[in-house]
Amino acid sequence: MDFVEMLNTARNSGKAYAFAVITAAEGATPRHPGAKMIVYEDGSIAGSIGGGEIERQVINDARCCIAGRSPVMKKMDVVQSGGLVSGSETIYIEPVFPPAHLILCGAGHVAGKLIPLAKNLGFRVSVIDIRDEAVFRERTAAADEFIRASSFTEGLAKIPEREDQYLIACAFNFEQDEEILFRILQRKSAYIGMLAGNFKVQTIYNHLRARGVPDEQLRKVHAPIGLEIAAETPEEIALSIASELVFVKNQRTDNKAVSGDIPAAD
């Protein structure tokens, strides 16, 4: 398979992967500089740098690079049967990660201002709404996809779960946001937020507690959403949310946990 084709396949997979390339070779080696291979998190590969023990080591190293989120360059001996070293290869391995995925459950004014900000920050953006897309076409034009569904539950079901998803409940009334929050708390996620003031947060949390949602799960929710910058306008609120998304994303990259307090039940 052509490497460009392999790379496009890897990029479109939505999975983390690493590419490995031989940058230098000395002596007798199975492949020459420029040979490339794609390695996925599960150890599956596309392409080859020559097989054998070196390739096995590179696959292991690539998976470690993905887990550690850092590149590596290694010089490895080519060992023949009987333990004879016939040459060496220098191999560069670099992990690549799909863009973080922001899912906006609601296409209101704040969502409309947040979409271009999130896109400029490198997020893939999906928008779900139960209202006619024509109403929001201009507002959501910068999004990667708009999902029109009969319910937010149905819309969410159309998006495969990933651990790097950032989900926000920002619909048009309490009932919709409660149902959205109930559903997204059951999904894998890097971030869950809800666009709401303190009264709405308290009300919805009490309803969710009555539905059996434990406080441990509610602590995952960023609500009221966004960093505290005294935001008032949709533009300012979108900025505060985007800032919080970046903060959480960078904390995750550094393997640091982010959690918060929640209002007590009343």
List the beta bridge partners of residue 181.
Answer: none
Average pLDDT of 46-72?
91
pLDDT digits (tens, 9 = 90+) for 174-202: 999 999 999 999 999 999 999 999 999 99
pLDDT at 261: 64
In the predicted model, is pLDDT for residue 205 greater than 90? yes
More confident residue, 1 or 22: 22
Contact by Cβ (8 Å): 208, 266: no
pLDDT at 257: 45
d(CA 109, CA 238): 9
**To the nearest whole number, what is the mean pLDDT of the chain?**
90
Please report the domains of the chain, with CATH numbers, ordered by start residue: 3-96 (no CATH), 101-253 (3.40.50.720)
pLDDT at 132: 80
User: Which of 27-41, 127-141, 232-246 is most confident?
Assistant: 232-246
pLDDT at 256: 46
Average pLDDT of 9-26?
90
Contact by Cβ (8 Å): 191, 248: yes
Confidence of residue 133 (pLDDT cuts 50, 70, 90): confident
User: Can you tell me whether residue 83 is helix, strand or coil?
Assistant: coil
In the predicted model, is pLDDT for residue 260 greater than 60? no
d(CA 57, CA 78): 11
Distance, first Cα to last Cα, the chain: 62
pLDDT at 85: 77
d(CA 119, CA 121): 5
Confidence of residue 77 (pLDDT cuts 50, 70, 90): confident
Q: Is 210 left (phi over 0), alpha (psi -120 to 50) or beta?
A: alpha
The first and second tokens of residue 103, run together, are: 């899912």
d(CA 163, CA 161): 7
Contact by Cβ (8 Å): 196, 132: no
Task: Quote the pTM value.
Answer: 0.77
Average pLDDT of 219-233?
93
Confidence of residue 255 (pLDDT cuts 50, 70, 90): very low
More confident residue, 133 or 201: 201
pLDDT digits (tens, 9 = 90+) for 134-175: 778 888 999 999 999 999 999 999 999 988 899 999 998 899
- Residue 169 Cα to chain centre, angstroms: 17
Peptide bond into 224 cis (omega under 30): yes
Determine what percent of the chain is predicted with pLDDT higher than 70: 94
Contact by Cβ (8 Å): 78, 86: yes
